[in-house]
Every structure is written in C-alpha cells, then in structure tokens.
Chain A
C-alpha cells in the first residue's frame, strides 16, 4: 500500500521538527547550544569569505566557539548589521561618516585583513607579466588605449611581442568592494578619471562588458582573448590568470602579492590613525602594491548579549594575532604589525 509510505514520509518530517523543537532551549545569556557551543553569526563581504571560513574552522577546533559567516556582499553586511540581525558585519569598504549617522547603535569598525586587486588579462601570445603605469591603466579603462600593441604599451614592455588585438575591458556588473578599491585607486591617480567616472562600488564604466562577481569577471577574461579585467588576487591565482605589474607611487613596477600588499598596509598606518576609513591605495614605499584595500569588521559597542560580545571580542583578537598567517596561505594580505595594533585598540572599545 503506497499510502502507508506517504504517511511514513509525512510522519518522519513531523517527527524531525517535533524532536528538534523539544530540544533544550539555549540560555539567553550565554547563547550556547545543546552541545555547549557558542554560535556567533556574521555576514557580509564575499571577498573575505574564504579566509573567514578558514578562521572559523580553526577557531572552532581550538575553542569550540562556532563562528557562522555567510557571504551576502559588503552592502548586505552593513545593512544587516544596521538592522541588528547579525552579530558582526564585514565589508570591503569602510562605513562612511554619512552612513554612520543612520546607525541607531554605537559600533566600532577596524581592518581584519587586506587584499590586493590584480589587473588580469588574457593574451595567448604573452606569458610574461606586463608592466603598466597608472596613466596607461586609466586610459585603458577610459577606452583611450584600444589596442594591445599601442605604442605606449610597447614602450612600457620592451622585448614583449604585443599582438595587434583589441583590448576588451571586463568590469563588475554588480556592486562590489573590489570595484570600489580599483576606482578609488584610479580616482587617486587621475583627476580625469575622478571627474569622468569617480569612485564607487558600482560606477558607469565608459567602455567594456560586465561580469557578475569575481567569478564572472574571471570567466569573461578567461574566455576572451584580448580581455583585461580586475579581480582579487586569490581569484587570479586559483584560476591561473596572468596579472600585470603596476608602477607604484615610488616609481617601481610591483606585482600583487602578500608582501607588496603588506607593505602598502604598513604605509597606510599613519593615515588610518587619523581616520580608520582611509584607503590604502597608491601608498608610498618602493615595494608597496598600489591597488590594495582593507576588509573591515563591524562590532557592537553596546551589545545586547554581554557574554556573546565577549566571545566575539576573543575571536577577533585571535584573528588579528594568530589568524594573519592563515590569510597569507590563501593569497590574502596579512595586516602589518602596526595595523594589527591599531585594530586591537579599536577592538578594546568593545566590552
């Protein structure tokens, strides 16, 4: 009789829910589960997701505290944190003074890790890392440099046999912290870019095709010979994309890497001390990669749940001290020691 089978399935559903519903309720002050584990919910930046998952996994092994991080995008992270539906938010772009006015609760924000945005391209004929100056990069994204064998590109890359291909710009079609970091950089180095396009999580691109997410841009660049785009370094490395060396403020061509990003983050310390929202693009220093940005975490200063807040604080202390070397393994940029100290100071404001 099939109906018996149907009833069995229905019964099983109901049983699961009833059993789960009858499980001992958590105590409201400690937020522990039946297994005695604290669970912290965070959400936001997709860029930080891989390293956050790694931290979460290692931290659970060490302490039993479960940090559940969900990547819903930087904007989503700020929004949900503002609504108070998550315990902490993560964003690639610091909450601006203007946005901060809309918050009903006091909070702190501080960098937990940094990342470099790599300029990736697809030229089957070229295997070397190309060299680009900020001016040429701006003109490529403005659509003024149209061919890969443009005289300016050839002059910058002696000995490289640049093909007579059209340059196809690939940019993000969705709002993105990566776009913010790149356009922040382009606006910093070029008044023309600042005036025509400006900085933002999404801007109106003068030329090019869009791709959704880091993975969308990666896919487009991989498929289109002649394409140039920008993705976070870990996407470039994971997908074997070639990336360019960019001339930094000190006049040196540097490739994106954890060392060059760390140098940039170190150079940004003085500015950060003035204003935690300061960007880390176009920093001085011979070895600093110019398109570098921080990932910020947002934490309540007046938490509703004191015990949980103490656990959140402990977790981020661990992230800032012990978590940085794991970040390097995943092609993120570990924070320079000076920045770590500054973040720890900010974190100390959390009870």
Chain B
C-alpha cells in the first residue's frame, strides 16, 4: 500500500510529539529530586556544623544547640529494627522461595504485601497499643519494633526474589557432592543471593530512616541523651516535624539542617544499594 506524503508527515509528527512528551515526563520524574536537594542544600547547608552535629537541643530563646541525640537515636532505632527484621525477613524469604508454593506460602506472601502497604502511622499506633501501654512507657524498643514492622516485609520479599533467582544447578551440584540441605542453603544459595539481599536491606534501611509516623507514638522523642531500651528516644524525622512547626526562626534553621542530614543518610544508603547491585551483576557476567 502506498503511503501519501501527508500521511507520512502526520506519522512523523506523531512520532516527534510522543517522543517529546515522554522526554518531558522523564525530566519531570527527576525534577522533584533535584528541587528537593537544591532547596535543602540552599536552606540547610550553612546550619550543618560541628555544633549542630555534636550538641543537644537548646530551649527556645537561646540560639544554637544541635541534634546529636536525634541523629544517634535514629541510627540506634533503625539498627534495632534491623536486628529484629534481618533474621526474620531473611528466614521468611528463604522459606517462601524454597517451600512457598503451598497455600500457606501464598498466605504469607499476601500478608507480607499487605504489611508493606499498611500506612506507617497505623503501624505506630499498633505498636503503641502492643508495647507502649503494657510497658507503661514510650521507649526506644517500641520505636525499633515499629521500624522493624516496616522493614520485615521489604526484606522478606527481596530475599525471596533473590533466592529464587539462584540457578537450580548450583543447589544440585552442592547436594550431589554430599552437602546437607542446610549446608547448601547456608554456604551456596545465600552467598549467591547475598548482593541482592543486601540491596533490599539497604532500601529497607533508607525507608526506615525517613519514617516519622511510626516513631511519633512509640519513641516519642527526648530532649536529652538516652541509650536505654525502655525510655523515650530522640530521632530525626519527629524532631524535624517538631522544629518546623515552632514559632522560632532558629528552630526553623535547624529543621532545614536536620532535613539535609536525613536526606544525606538516605541518599548514601541508596547509592550503596545501587553500587552493590552493580557489583553483583558484574560478578555474574
């Protein structure tokens, strides 16, 4: 069939238009990240100094002070969450990959996905009822548990995907030389899947760092240093919220600085996750 020049021009036009539109969309996807980063750096960089990183908050009316306890508190509770969610998440992931093709396996998978979609404020309130009320105290422990609820499904599902991706021939080879199933899992399958699991864990950590809602009613916040599991603990996201809504200029300045510190931590974790994935693919090639 012969194509008329007019028709061809119309086709070209459609091609160019669609390409431009897709290109614009692609730029729009990136734009928020750059806008957020530029805005945070512009507002926060001057306030990120040694005092901010190393001292405790000052009461309003006194200029200065920092968020050292909130930075450490965030690491502490995310670490605690990791300590809980890593064994559970990896264990569940292995189970789902190896024995998960049962009705129970589907149920677990479905529940993990549901948990992943539960709004984080709901997790916060649940842990409040589950731990804070019986313990009669807001605590770092409750904060860590709330964060682990966010990380467990992420780690479990990534681990499952990664363990599934390990070629069956590796399992066969290991079993055929007389290794037990447990030994095969531990020494062959998990190490092969490690890169991917680490990526999943890093992304889970990045998400946990940024969550304020699960900590509002579990960790509560603290003006002072605290390293006890059974006491309220400061953390960056709730501190940012607290400072941003205050009437004090100096607190607004510090909220920007804290936001910049927080996004730096999240970015570093994301980049580490990407780099470790690339490493893995290179090894496979």
| B201-216 contact mask (Cβ, 8 Å, vs A): 1 or 0 | 1100000000000001
A213 within 8 A of B: yes
Chain A residues closer than 8 Å to B44, beta-carbon distance: none
In chain A between 5 and 46, which residues have their CB closer than 8 angstroms to a CB of chain B? Answer: 5-6, 9-10, 13-14, 16-17, 20-21, 23, 25-26, 33-35, 37, 39, 41, 43
14 pairs, A vs B, C-beta closer than 8 Å:
A2-B272, A2-B275, A5-B272, A6-B202, A16-B79, A20-B227, A23-B227, A39-B226, A41-B220, A50-B61, A53-B60, A57-B58, A68-B232, A238-B247
Bitwise, A199-224 to B at CB < 8 A (1) or not (0) is 00000000000000111001000000
Q: Closest residue to A214 on the B side, CB-wise?
A: B247
Among the stretches A78-86, A133-141, A252-260, A291-299, the one at the interface with B is A78-86
Contact B224 A66 (CB under 8 A): yes
Considering the complex, give the chain A residue whose CB is closest to the CB of B231.
Answer: A39
**Residues 31-66 of B contacting A (Cβ, < 8 Å):** 57-62
For B76, list chain A residues within 8 Å (CB). Answer: 16-17, 20
- Give 6 closest A-B pairs by Cβ, nearest first: A13-B79, A53-B59, A54-B59, A57-B59, A50-B60, A238-B247
* Residue of A50, A69, A85 touching B137 (CB-CB under 8 A): A85
B138 interfacial by beta-carbon distance below 8 Å = yes
Residues of chain B with a CB closer than 8 A to A66's CB: 223-224
A: residues with CB less than 8 A from B are 1-3, 5-6, 9-10, 13-14, 16-17, 20-21, 23, 25-26, 33-35, 37, 39, 41, 43, 49-50, 53-54, 56-58, 60, 66, 68-72, 83-86, 213-215, 218, 234-235, 238-239, 304, 329-330
Pair A23/B198 contact, Cβ less than 8 Å: no
Interface residues of B in 174-207 (CB under 8 A from A): 194-195, 198, 201-202
From A71, A85, A213, contact of B138 by CB (8 A): A85
By the criterion CB–CB under 8 Å, are A53 and B223 in contact? yes
B133 CB–A CB distance under 8 Å: yes
Complex contact A85–B133 (CB within 8 A) = yes
Is there an interface contact between B136 and A85, defined as CB atoms closer than 8 Å?
yes
Task: Please judge, given known A-B contacts A70-B220, A70-B232, A83-B133, whether A238 and B248 are in contact too, CB under 8 Å.
Answer: yes
Partner of A50, one of B59, B220, B229: B59
Report the separation of the CA atoms of residues A57 and B58 in the bound assembly, to the nearest whole angstrom: 7
Q: How far is the CB of A322 from chain B (nearest CB, A)?
A: 15
Chain A nearest Cβ from B169, distance in angstroms = 24
Which single residue of chain A is at the shortest CB-CB distance from B128? A85
The answer to the question of B228 belonging to the interface, with a C-beta cut-off of 8 Å to chain A, is: yes
Whether, in the assembled complex, B221 has its beta carbon less than 8 Å from a beta carbon of chain A, the answer is yes
Classify the secondary structure of A's interface with B: helix
The answer to whether B78 has its CB under 8 Å from any CB of chain A is yes
Q: Which of B61, B82, B138, B226 contacts A329 (CB 8 A)?
A: B61
Closest to A58 in B: B59
Residue of A nearest to B132 (CB): A85
* Contact status A14-B136, CB under 8 Å: no
For residue A39, which residues in chain B have a CB less than 8 angstroms away from its CB? 224, 226, 231
When distances are taken between beta carbons in the complex, the residues of chain A under 8 Å from B195 are 3
Provide the residues of chain A in CB contact with B137, threshold 8 Å: 41, 85
Q: How far is the CA of A166 from the CA of B221 in the complex (A)?
A: 43
- In whole Å, how far is B56's beta carbon from the nearest beta carbon of chain A? 9
Residues of chain A lying within 8 A (CB to CB) of residue B75: 13, 16
* B7: interface (CB < 8 Å): no
**Alpha-carbon gap, A16 to B72, bound state (A):** 9
Question: A10 contacts B82, CB within 8 Å?
Answer: yes
Residue contact B138 to A235, C-beta cutoff 8 Å: no
Establish whether residues B198 and A6, one from each chain, have CB atoms under 8 Å apart when the complex forms. Answer: yes
Which residues of chain A are near B136, meaning CB under 8 Å? 84-85, 304
Most buried by A among B220, B232, B247: B247
In the complex where A10-B82, A13-B75, A85-B138 touch, is A43 in contact with B61 (Cβ < 8 A)?
no
